[in-house]
Amino acid sequence: MTFRRLDQESNVPVAVAHRASRLRRLSVAVAFCGAFLPCGLALAENPMAVIPKETIYPGQVINASSLETVEVTNPNLTGDYAHSVQDVVGKITNRTLLAGRVIIVSALRDPYVVERGKAVRIVYSNGPLTITAGGAPLENAAIGDLIRVRNTDSGIIVQGTVMQDGTIQVVAK
């Protein structure tokens, strides 16, 4: 014969009363977390992806009117795809982006500030000394890229970093 102990106040078996109190504590903890955590942490959100509305060809500048943000429904979608429109607008495509397909970030680049063969100004600074010269870049480059530049006066090839104003800041050897 088996015996069950009853809770003296409510005549409910002790195991059942214990389970009910644990469930109450758990529901209070979930409510607390939901109230004080940001929405993204309280509930799992579906990731978002940026897709083109129309086909975008290589070399085209991407504008916001040709993009759309959609919810990702495929759980197997991995990789470095664009999650927001701000990640994509103003970039230039390296390859064709098909309408309705996610945009892979590696298929985009920043616009070139310096183009191969066009005249640029080379700047070397070391303390109070600043030397400038004319140069011809040997490759296309965006802001912050390290490129080779031919000094048009001496013919010497130097390396430098592309600055925002289009000048090349030469690195010392």
Q: In which band, very low, low, confident or very high, does the pLDDT at 47 lie, cut at 50, 70 and 90?
A: confident
CATH label, 48-109, candidates 3.10.105.10, 3.90.1210.10, 3.40.50.20, 3.30.920.30: 3.90.1210.10
120-170 has which fold?
SH3 type barrels. (2.30.30)
Find the radius of gyration of the CA atoms of the chain: 31
| Domain positions in the chain | 1-43, 48-109, 120-170
Residues 149 and 126 sit within 8 Å (Cβ to Cβ) = no
- Percentage with pLDDT > 70 across the chain: 73
Q: Tens digits of per-residue pLDDT, 117-164?
A: 999 999 999 889 999 999 999 999 999 999 999 999 999 999 999 999
pTM as predicted: 0.58
Examine the pLDDT at 1 and tell me if it is beyond 60.
no
pLDDT at 12 over 80: no
